[in-house]
Amino acid sequence: MAARVTRSRFPVMYGFEEQIWFDARGRKIAGNFNSFGRGQTKADFEALMAHLDPELNGPVPDGYEAPSYKADREAEYRQAHAHFAARLAQAVPATNDEETR
């Protein structure tokens, strides 16, 4: 549900996040200048794309550490929802439990 809401209500943010990667140390590398990581340049993102392209197989951008992984906010929302739903289920008994009768 949250994933659909994110796409429909925040299309600009969703578009930015389609071009966000993180290196092994968690440093952000983004394709859009509005969401660049600290100290990042456009050349850093271009170097990352060259590194990830199997035909080019360029070097890792300076200052970053391989491997890189793509941001996936929708998967993170699903994971967070499952975690907190489980915590809520443990903390609050269901209305049909013997304890609440």
Residue at 43 is within a domain: yes
The pLDDT value recorded for residue 42 is 94
Rounded Cα–Cα distance for residues 63 and 51 (Å) = 14
Residue at 89 is within a domain: no
The mean pLDDT value for 3-28 works out to: 82
Does position 2 have pLDDT exceeding 70, yes or no? no
% of the chain at pLDDT higher than 70: 86
Residue at 80 is within a domain: no
The pLDDT value recorded for residue 58 is 87
Rounded Cα–Cα distance for residues 5 and 1 (Å) = 6
Residue at 51 is within a domain: yes
Q: pLDDT of 16-30, one tens digit each?
A: 788 899 999 999 999
The pLDDT value recorded for residue 40 is 93
Domains contained in the chain, number: 1
Residue at 28 is within a domain: yes
**pLDDT, mean over the chain:** 85
Domain containing 54 equals 2-72
Residue at 46 is within a domain: yes
| Bond preceding residue 67 cis, omega within 30 of 0 | yes
Which residues are within 8 A (CB) of 71 and not within 5 positions of it... i.e. 6 or more apart? 17, 20, 21, 22
Residue at 92 is within a domain: no
Residue at 100 is within a domain: no
The pLDDT value recorded for residue 77 is 86
